[in-house]
Chain A
């Protein structure tokens, strides 16, 4: 049985249907991304999973418990990392973590707190007030609080990298990858395509309360096409012979030569052969670019709009 089972989940707020007949499952050891713009219904779905909201209809089971009826049992097994660093600024790092550890009833909680402080490299700041931490340290504390239960079965990351700069985002990605490797079920909501692409083993594309597509990032991208376009600009005009050799390759769809540039449309499997032929031509390459199908393209395909535009 899957750790999280959601069947025909619907949540209405008056006339607004925030979540519309959503079904999915999460197994232990997989990182599932709930990808969609603001207002897609991601946070409402999470709130229902943790038992903070009751579904209008449908069924949610977490480890066999219904969150709306057995909220305490469900929440004991869940670690949660919110979007903003929701921390008590007037408590120290250690006190913030101790509060969470005691609330979860962790035995020998001081030992666990020391362990998690070390794991998230917060030793130097352990006894400093959380309000005095830098943005990156607050983000680390935010993650540490979500990971305080060592034996939690499900970690929910609710847009954990919103507002973080590149370096901190990469650090946060490292934490998510570590969680993925620990065998826990991880549910990550995000409106960043590249984040879902890089971190999730499975993605649920959500828009206007509905799941419009789901699968691994590769599967989702291949539903559109596995074609890519490689464009070269050479120092001199490419020869007719090169064009013919490229056109003759079985997985090359088309070759366009325009003065110094060459545009090759191909199935992704043919890329090594194309590169080899270009290399053998001994032409000096001034620039080259590859454009693959991205999750942006997939999202646009299913919803007719840009995720990034809607999300930001």
Chain B
């Protein structure tokens, strides 16, 4: 409940920060316009757009929470909030909810743009939207861990962007069969983004309903739970250094 209150107020910042708002609208619009260039098949267009936005969601999700926490720390707001009756987990959830809402708006804009471009897919748009939001949750859970260990905004950006690219590319290359027969294949099998890739492509190209991907989604949710709990543990451990 306290998390929702925190997110409700911090989210208002979206409409006050003109540059931030412009970025939130321009990025998804630009990506959809670019994604429409060079792909003949409708499903290819959808896949390209979704994959590009998916890539950015992961990066922004990873970096966004860390940057928010560090910004709060620098302005002294972090201490003021932590002295209010909110638990550490509640605070982290609040920050994650705020970033989730921001990314949700961006995903929403992408979907509106795809409707404007009359892009169709064999699967359900709602399923696709849900998968993207699950991907955002994973990125946030990962980002919360980076926020707990980073000491500067530069480090947060470095770790967040670097890890996102590595995890994203590992999933992409694994899907393309690059690791077949190697040791990395076993590791790559556990990469949650690899499972999310399979779900997204399954919905876009084969029209597979989301409910049929429960093993993949189960793995992803397990990752999200583990990462969120580890971030709470890291905050408990690090909080004395952060205030």
Chain A residues at the B interface, C-beta cutoff of 8 Å: 47, 50, 52-54, 71-72, 75-76, 78, 80, 82-91, 95, 98-100, 102-105, 129, 145
Contact = CB atoms under 8 A, between A and B. Distances in A.
A72 B240 CA distance: 17
B151 interface: no
Interface string B96-131: 000000000000000000000000000000000000
A186 to B, nearest CB: 16
B79 A91 contact: no
B212 interface: no
Interface in B63-93: 75-77, 79-87
5 contacts: A83-B76, A84-B75, A86-B77, A91-B16, A105-B85
Nearest to B15: A90
B86 A103 contact: yes
Contacts of A80: 80, 83
Contacts of B10: 88
Contact of B12 (A71, A90, A100): A90
A104 B9 contact: no
A121 to B, nearest CB: 21
A217 B34 CA distance: 72
Interface centre among B12, B16, B80, B83 (most CB of A within 10 A): B83
B101 to A, nearest CB: 15
A75 B9 contact: no
**Chain B interface main SS type:** helix
A307 B5 CA distance: 42
Contacts of B87: 71-72
Contacts of A84: 75-76
A227 to B, nearest CB: 43
B239 A99 contact: no
A75 B83 contact: yes
Given A72-B85, A103-B2, A91 B80 contact: no
Contacts of A76: 85
B6 interface: yes
Nearest to A80: B83
Interface residues of B, number: 24
A17 B183 CA distance: 49
B176 to A, nearest CB: 43
A103 B84 contact: yes
Given A82-B76, A82-B80, A90 B16 contact: yes
Contacts of A53: 240, 243
A77 to B, nearest CB: 9
B77 A88 contact: yes
Given A52-B82, A88-B9, A102-B5, A47 B77 contact: no
A84 B12 CA distance: 23
Contact of B9 (A85, A86, A98, A105): A98
B13 A90 contact: yes
Interface centre among B2, B76, B84, B239 (most CB of A within 10 A): B84
Contact of B17 (A50, A90, A145): A90
B84 A91 contact: no
Contact of A104 (B75, B80, B84): B84
Contacts of A83: 76
B85 A91 contact: no
Nearest to B239: A52
A254 to B, nearest CB: 52
Nearest to B17: A90
A95 B80 contact: no
Contacts of B13: 88, 90-91
